[in-house]
């Protein structure tokens, strides 16, 4: 399956701490994207990293990609209560040629 597997499934931290979520996959990809979802409704695109990139930053977000290990991580630094949400990785490329979403990590940031 091309679907990304996210780890952990759930994460609870205190405000100000860093949160790290991981995504592993099995097939080749063209790019990997991270999305945030609040309250089970629309998703918000956070960041896209291409297969020839190893690291990208956007504000408090840092994404890494290791194509040899077929894994990516999303780091949120100095977390805030407003970061509480589900985070999904999404893979593009490989045989299916569509954007396939992972299973998600539920992040709870305690104030």
Partner 1 sequence: GAGVSQSPSNKVTEKGKDVELRCDPISGHTALYWYRQSLGQGLEFLIYFQGNSAPDKSGLPSDRFSAERTGGSVSTLTIQRTQQEDSAVYLCASSSLRQGVNGYTFGSGTRLTVV
Residues of the shown chain interacting with partner 1 in the complex, contacts defined by CB under 8 A? 3, 30-31, 33, 35, 40-45, 48, 88, 92-93, 97-104
Of 30, 13, 32, 31, the C-alpha closest to 22 is: 32
Beta carbon nearer to partner 1, 49 or 76: 49
Beta carbon nearer to partner 1, 33 or 84: 33
Beta carbon nearer to partner 1, 3 or 24: 3
């Amino acid at each position: 399956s091309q679907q990304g597997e996210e780890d952990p499934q759930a994460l609870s931290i205190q405000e100000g701490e860093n949160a790290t979520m991981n995504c592993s996959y099995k097939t080749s990809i063209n790019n990997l994207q991270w999305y945030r979802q609040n309250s089970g409704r629309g998703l918000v695109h956070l960041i896209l990293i291409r297969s020839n990139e190893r690291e990208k930053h956007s504000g408090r977000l840092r994404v890494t990609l290791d194509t040899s290990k077929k894994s990516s991580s999303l780091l949120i630094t100095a977390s805030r209560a407003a970061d509480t949400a589900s985070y999904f990785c999404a893979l593009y490329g490989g045989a299916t040629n569509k954007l396939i979403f992972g299973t998600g990590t539920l992040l709870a940031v305690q104030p």
